[in-house]
A = this chain, B = another copy of it.
Amino acid sequence: MLELRLVQGSLLKKVLESIKELVNDANFDCSSTGFSLQAMDSSHVALVALLLRSEGFEHYRCDRNLSMGMNLNNMAKMLKCAGNDDIITIKADDGSDTVTFMFESPTQDKISDFEMKLMDIDSEHLGIPEAEYDAIVRMPSAEFARICKDLSSIGDTVVISVTKEGVKFSTKGDIGAANIVCRQNTTVDKPDDATVIEMKEPVSLQFALRYMNSFTKATPLSSTVTISLSNELPVVVEYKIAEMGYVRFYLAPKIEEDDEETKPEV
């Protein structure tokens, strides 16, 4: 039996909104340590990894490891019916082919339960090795989202270049070219407004803006985003979920200046 009670139910709503554009169907994996998901996007280019640790739930009961295949659009439809202040409980009986989402309003005057059919989904769980990165940029997530959106009005790809001074986002298109430089600035009023760069050596890598823009759907989850870059690895775009875990997106760089997208080697 599975029963996971999350007081800040809006987190789960935001998680679904952040990944449902990339992934149609996926297995959610429950174990004693947490509630997680790992899935390739539907064109098999980007990888999504979600973790919500058991400690973050008010109540977490998972008697045995369980993998539940869900259609993320349908799940998002149901979670949209939860109020932003509702407590959400995820329930499943052993061997059941359904999962139930229960929403309790803060006053307990309104109780909803939404039952969804589970699916059988074939998936291989990829091992994602821990890696050392040449450069790690932490910056305000809204700023990163704005930059990806702005550059999309000019071109299709973004070159992310990191030096000690800052991070540069560049693109080119039919109507012209654009460079946006964010300087390292650690002396800001609010820590979350800082742009912080940890760098071993300069990197300059090119990515499809379409995917970057999908990743930024996770912006409501966290006020900062961390971008980890290495010449031989997929970029990791990470949104931390306060005290619970993270949503991470992996995307392989584009090797050449053509429009072919290469698959990530994770």
Contact = CB atoms under 8 A, between A and B. Distances in A.
B80 A117 contact: no
B114 A178 contact: yes
B114 A81 contact: no
Contact of A175 (B108, B112, B116, B154): B116
Interface in A70-100: 71, 74, 77-78, 80-81, 98
A181 interface: yes
A77 B179 CA distance: 14
A109 B180 contact: no
A176 B74 contact: yes
Given A98-B176, A114-B176, A175-B116, A77 B181 contact: no
Interface residues of A, number: 35
A206 to B, nearest CB: 19
Interface of A: 71, 74, 77-78, 80-81, 98, 107-117, 143, 150-151, 153-154, 175-183, 185, 188, 195
Nearest to A178: B114
B176 A117 contact: yes
A175 B110 contact: no
B71 A112 contact: no
Nearest to A108: B183
Contacts of A151: 81
B110 A178 contact: no
Contacts of A117: 175-176
Which of A80, A107, A109, A188 has the most chain B CB atoms closer than 10 A to its own CB? A109
Contact of A111 (B80, B112, B143, B181): B181
B109 A183 contact: yes
